Structure 1
Amino acid sequence: MEYRGIDVSVWQGEIDWKKVADVGTEFAIIRITEAGNNVDAYFERNYNGCVDYGIPAGVYKFSYALSVAAVRQEAERVVDILRERQLRYPVFLDLEYSNQHRLGQKMIERLAEEFRRIVVDAGYRFGIYCNLDWYNNVISEKLKKYDFWIARYPSDDNGTLMERYRPDAGIGWQYTSKGRVPGITGNVDRDVFYKDYSAEEPSDKEKLNKIPKFVGKVTATVLNVRTGAGTEYPNLREYPILEQGNLIDVCDTRKAADGTTWYYIRIAGRYFGFVAARYIERQ
């Protein structure tokens, strides 16, 4: 099966999402931030348009990061903006910045793995966007186990799908930058995906509620914040420990393998992790 969709940003201006939906658009990948980690000026409108007209959505982040610390900031910003939003398609890390190319394969692998860790820990799917040259010559074999959305279109791009340019790899192909779709003024990127994320059963983390249900107070002297429900999971990197009296948002509940109850919590409005419920007092 193939699924036809688009990817959009501020460059498309105000989109009539009803018209986009009416012509059978099956998904949309929305740019979430611009350079400097600023929210794309049309992200809110585009996301809401997809929700209103039932178009499954994902997001992409064009990365300018040249260090692990910088890509961590990018990922945290993405998670902070998404916060309580639901996505059916992945958060795609867009790797095409020429200065990143010079970092070498191993460093790019580290950047991608760090970005992935943060978005997956927040409960979102992860993927990588790049062009075919990057995929063949820059992306490491280790990274190729993830979902790739690959750009490849001809120099004489006329907005149509040219079968001879279809990449052999990836779960998605951006086949033109000169597509035309009712409801969008001017050109728009068009894509074909081979994976139906909308039908795929979401993982347990993707099912977790991210909207706070109540405020909780830590009663233990110190409390580990873990990446999963249970002591077998490692501590969260950003907030590995909470202290007595700290207030957190409790968003969901899970049972550990040993039968104990754990809370899925939000810290500082942006970080998500798990804590043993017996050490949290409802406020």
Structure 2
Amino acid sequence: MKYGIDVAKWNGVIDWSKVKLANISFAVLKVTNKNNRVEEAFERNYAGATEQGITVGVYRYVYAKTVEAAKAEANAIVQALSGKKINFRVWLDMEADSIKNIGKSRLTEIINAEADIIQAAGFQVGIYCNTDWYRNVLDSESLKSRFPFWIARYGTNNGEMQEKYSPEAYAIAWQYTSSGSCEGVNGKVDLDVAFSEIDVAPVVPNPYTHKVGQTVYYSSYYDRATDDISKAKFAGAKYKKGTITAIVNGARNPYQINSASIYLNDGDIREVITVKASDAKYHTVKAGQNLTVIAKMYGTTINAILKMNPSITNKNVIKVGAKIRVK
């Protein structure tokens, strides 16, 4: 078990040399604020902690209510961490009252949207929350198949660790008080322990078997990229056919089909359909037609057409009389 603190600008100017002498092995630093700007103490705290050899993680208080807002939060984090070594994960802090009642499904979508971007940049992701959020607000059973949890659970919050409140059975880290004290930090500070390794490897994109643009037959599928095998759905008596339109890095079921809520893993795919040159189909653009209209005509997607026609640089501009491949 290793000891740590988590801090933000509210903790003032920290003497990290004294923190190191206080047997602190890791520090989790607030990285960005509500406005997606770098937290004003972050650079100072990052420099001070790393100079002392303290392992660093970061956290972001999540406010996003939509996937688009989640992506904006994630992109701000990635930009702030450019060139930095973050060994103890990027923690998505799930505790904002403003998003507490938007539903487990939406919260899972938001978490996954942020994590996909952060992990694509090479950083490991975890979820921070209290026991109420873990048990009642989040779909923790689903989420813990992809993310470790850091749990806030204080007991009487007297500044001391109270073992009977330990979440070690379901978390890798525990924030055991918000009323602690630590040499080098003025006033009260959050104190933490880690039950597992604090120095984790960066994310390396998986060498996926299949690629975007491939058309495949599949026998089963999932509604979400993060669903475990218990949520697999049978595709039907005959295999279904679809085109891989996206790959979700790090997910259990990484292959998204037809830009829809259909996700596959390698075990779901039965055959890759190879299109022979003689089977290729072309369409001559007529007046009033755009890619949306043409895609519907041939039962395909705009993205699939764009991949077959790299000469189309603007999906909103296609010339009348142009011959484009649609299959």
Q: Could you state the TM-score of these two structures normalised by the residue count of structure 2?
A: 0.62
- RMSD over equivalenced CA pairs, Å: 1.8
Per the alignment, residue 154 of structure 2 pairs with 153
Matching residue of 2:143: 143
Correspondence for 2:72 = 73
Residue of structure 2 equivalent to 1:59: 58
Identical aligned residues as a percent: 38
> After superposition, where does 1:1-283 map in structure 2 within 5 Å?
2-140=1-139, 141-145=141-145, 146-154=147-155, 156-167=156-167, 168-198=169-199, 200=200, 202-203=201-202, 205=204, 232-234=210-212
Q: Which residue of 2 aligns with 1:267?
A: none
CA distance 1:81–1:203, shift in 2 (3 Å): closer
Once the two structures are TM-superposed, the CA of residue 232 in structure 1 deviates from its matched residue by 3.9
Deviations 1:157-181 (A, max 9, x none): 1100011111232111100001100
Q: Distance in 1 between matches of 2:116 and 2:135?
A: 23
**Count of residue pairs the alignment pairs up:** 212
Q: Aligned letter for 2:194?
A: F
3-state DSSP of counterpart to 1:73:
helix
1:149 shift after superposition = 0.3
Equivalent residue letter for 1:144: K
Q: Deviations over 1:209-229 (max 9, x none)?
A: xxxxxxxxxxxxxxxxxx666
**Which digits, 9 at most, give the CA deviation of each residue in 1:188-240, with x for residues without a partner?**
00001111132x5x2562xxxxxxxxxxxxxxxxxxxxx66688454689xxx
Contact persistence 2:26–2:198 (CA under 8 A)? no
Task: For 1:182, give the aligned amino acid.
Answer: E
Q: Which has the larger radius of gyration?
A: 2
Structure 2 distance, partners of 1:164, 1:229, is: 43
| Distance in 1 between residues matched to 2:203 and 2:11, nearest whole Å | 35
**Mapped contact 2:123–2:203 kept (Cα < 8 A):** no
Higher relative contact order (CA 8 A, sep 6+): 1
